Amino acid sequence: MTTIDAAAEFDRQVHNLIERDYPAMAGLTPEQFQSLAEPLRDLAATTGSLACESGAGRLPFVLVVTRQVVPIEQTMPRTTLHGKPKPGFVDHSFEPGSLERFVAIPETGLPEQQVYLLTDIERGEEFCGAVPQDAMNTIAARGRTLLTIEEGIAVITQFPEILVKNKCFSLGGSRSGDRRVPALWISQNAPKLGWCWERNPHTWLGMASAGGRRATA
At 126-166, the pLDDT tens digits run 999 999 999 999 999 999 999 999 999 999 999 999 999 99
Q: For 64-103, what is each residue's pLDDT tens digit? A: 999 999 999 999 999 999 999 999 999 999 988 899 999 9
CA distance linking residue 91 with residue 14, whole number of Å = 27
pTM recorded for the entire structure = 0.96
Give the model's confidence band at 3: pLDDT under 50 very low, under 70 low, under 90 confident, else very high.
Answer: confident
Dump the DSSP string for 159-190.
Answer: -GGG-BTTBEEE-TTEE-SSSEEEEEEEETTE
Q: How confident is the model at residue 127, as a pLDDT?
A: 98
Each residue of 104-114: pLDDT tens digit? 999 999 999 99
Q: Environment class of residue 217 by beta-carbon count within 10 Å: exposed (0-12), middle (13-18) or buried (19+)?
A: exposed
- In the chain, % of residues over pLDDT 90: 88
- 45 contacts 61 by C-beta, under 8 angstroms: no
Question: 3-class SS at 116?
Answer: strand
Q: Are 206 and 124 in contact (CB under 8 A)?
A: yes
What gap in Å lies between CA 113 and CA 191, rounded to an integer? 27
Read off the pLDDT of each residue in 177-186 and give the average, rounded to a whole number. 97
Asked if 79 and 88 count as a contact pair (C-beta separation under 8 A), the reply is yes
Conformation bin of residue 194: beta by default, left when phi > 0, alpha when psi is -120 to 50: beta
What distance in Å separates the CA atoms of residue 1 and residue 133, rounded to the nearest whole number? 31
Question: DSSP alpha helices (H): ranges in 54-185?
Answer: 72-75, 132-141, 149-158
Q: Nearest to residue 174, comparing CAs of 205, 145, 203, 202? A: 145
Predicted pLDDT of residue 203 = 97
pLDDT greater than 80 at residue 48: no
Q: Which residues of 82-91 are buried (b: 16+ CB within 10 A; e: fewer)?
A: eeeeeebbbe
CB 174 within 8 A of CB 154: no
Domains of the chain by residue range: 2-210
Looking at the predicted structure, is the pLDDT value of residue 49 above 70? no
- Predicted local confidence at residue 45, as pLDDT: 84
Q: How far apart are CA 205 and CA 197, in angstroms?
A: 12
Task: For residues 29-54, give the mean pLDDT.
Answer: 85
